Structure 1
Amino acid sequence: MLTSAQIDRVVATALAEDAPWGDLTAEVFLPADARATARLTAREPGVLAGIDVARAAFRLTDPAIQVTDRVADGDRFEAGTVLAEIEGPARALVQAERIALNFVQRMSGIATLTRAFVDAVEGTGTRITDTRKTTPGLRALERHAVRCGGGVNHRFSLSDGVMAKDNHLAVLRSQGLDLTEAVRAARSKLGHMTRLEVEVDRIDQIEPVIAGGVDVIMLDNFSLADLERGVQIVDGRAIVEASGTVTLETVGPIARTGVDVISSGALTHSVRSLDLGLDATVAAGA
């Protein structure tokens, strides 16, 4: 879950970067007692994510700013939809505007792309998940956006689960270690609540890994035919994850091979921020 502490930490850093000594433009152009109202409006269709992050940008700039949601995280919207209304001291509102928009635009872009992936595999039973290819420092926010789009999250960090990838296996081979025994040895060191996943890139690696007792097997950069064959070999003995250059065009055919999970780094590393606008009206204070 995305917590208020996570949000405040990231947003406070962004605000300090953007206005380390205040907003000089607002201070010289806007009266100190001026108030403003603004609407966060969609300029294209999408799925919303990050409204609480945008709210934090305004709140941490000035607690007197009020943000009223009109659309909730995870909701679809059309172009022209008013997503939120903001009201408060004008100087603070325009100071926080860019940071609020930056976060909600990026997060909504992730949610919108994720929803497109989820829609593309509808009816197959396959789940769409993200990867660790996230923006440094923004993982909690970007993972929340994936969930808003209907996806699920992979392990949050290297500390959350065991996932042996190609470089791990290369080290094992260089030491002359048997793959099955290496997986069994790793399994013996884990508590019963911790899952073990191993990535393979060849069909002949599947049985040795399964014999070692994995919970999840990742079939990396397999052809569609090899994915189908891999699912048949595993035969329900482990969760099957497909990965490797997954795109919106390929995710549907991959899902129809029968894999349980498809992971895609594109959900976070190749996303386009959604076009949202924040237009304010400023009036003198009473």
Structure 2
Amino acid sequence: MEREVTPPEPKLPLAPLPSVLIEPIVRAALLEDLGRAGDITTDAIVPSDVRAKVTLAAREAGVVAGLDLALMAFRLVDPAITASIRRVDGSHVSPGEAIATLEGPARGLLTAERVALNFLCHMSGIATATAEVVEAVRGTKARIVDIRKTLPGLRAVQKYAIRAGGGANHRFGLDDGVLIKDNHIAVAGGIPAAIERARAAVGHMVKVEIEVDTLEQLAEVLRFDIDAVLLDNMGPEELRRAVALVDGRAITEASGGITPATAGALAATGVDLLSMGWLTQSVRAIDIGLDHIA
């Protein structure tokens, strides 16, 4: 008898970030760029009544993220600029493919160009890299997550880009989850004291995770009530043994030096999460340009 296969749950559409959240970020970037006198190059060269039509086009393959921030940059500079969206955030694009077409006063288009592209290229780079790692672990239960290694002021949008690439988010800040690391353990005087103090201090909605470097530490941790364990810098064999030792009693997270090349073997151990700081801290932007349409 042929085994019946249950189709996967349909993926929910990517929820956009609220305008009230992204507007201050985009506005601050524009103010930094405009300085004290505005775009003196464009204002000198381009008459105020000239209009233009341009396209945001991918110059390499990737996953789009940050389009709302890019379009907001244009609108804040000149509300008369209009946009026609071709590829939404989370979409895969090919070289030469149009992401959006914009039309309006040429001055506004040129003035907002760099800020808009800074957001779009950087965030699309995060989404693209995330999608690559997600693909590397396909067929396993492991999920790809970020950490708090984000650029100052950009955490919300960088973590949004992770979601656009098919990943998930770790904690957003120090206030929404307990993560006991090696220095906490050292200062507290050991694993038992660190866990007991954390549990006594937080409410019932707050999860507690603890970092371990060895199987011996893990065995000690599992004597206590914890929600997740961070298995730091473990190779596939040690990680497999750690996952077996946990045996479903807590969420397992692997971290430390994970790349697209190593992610598949680590995910095959049965670990629940693979976390990577480089996805937000040092990822390469993808090339997206603003091309004039004659």
CA distance in 2, matches of 1:98, 1:193: 42
Could you say what the CA RMSD is over the residues aligned between the two structures, in angstroms? Answer: 1.2
Report the residue type matching 1:161 in the other structure: G
Give the CA deviation at 1:268.
1.1
CA contact (8 A) 1:131 1:264 kept: yes
CA–CA distance in structure 2, aligned partners of residues 276 and 109 of structure 1: 10
Paired position in structure 1 for 2:18 = 3
**1:63-114 CA-partner distances (Å, limit 9, x unpaired):** 1111211001001111111100011111111000010011100000100000
Instruction: Please give the TM-score of this superposition, normalised by the length of structure 2.
Output: 0.92
- 1:264 alignment partner AA: M
Q: Provide the residue aligned with 1:120 in structure 2.
A: 136
Counterpart for residue 209 of structure 1: 221
TM-score normalised by length of structure 1: 0.94
Shift of 1:6: 2.0
Q: Distance in 2 between matches of 1:35 and 1:56?
A: 19
Find runs of 4+ consecutive structure 1 residues off by over 3 angstroms: none
Q: Could you tell me which amino acid in structure 2 is paired with residue 255 of structure 1?
A: A
How many residues matched? Answer: 278
In the other structure, the counterpart of 2:240 is 228
Tell whether the 8 Å contact from 1:182 to 1:212 is kept in structure 2 after alignment: no
Conserved 8 A contact 2:55-2:293: no
Aligned mates of 2:210, 2:192 — CA distance in 1: 11
> What does residue 36 of structure 1 align with?
52
Gaps of 5+ in 2: 1-15
1:279 paired to 2:267: no
Task: Measure, in 2, the Cα distance between the counterparts of 1:3 and 1:277.
Answer: 25
Query: Are 2:95 and 1:79 equivalent residues in the alignment?
Result: yes
**C-alpha offsets along residues 197-244 of structure 1, whole Å, 9 cap, x if unaligned?**
000111111122122211000000112111011011101000000001
Structure 1 residue identity aligned to 2:23: D
| Distance in structure 2 (CA, Å) of the matches to 1:210 and 1:53 | 44
CA contact (8 A) 2:185 2:194 kept: no
Gaps of 5+ in 1: none
In structure 2, the residue corresponding to 1:259 is in which secondary structure?
coil
User: In structure 2, what is the equivalent of residue 19 of structure 1?
Assistant: 34
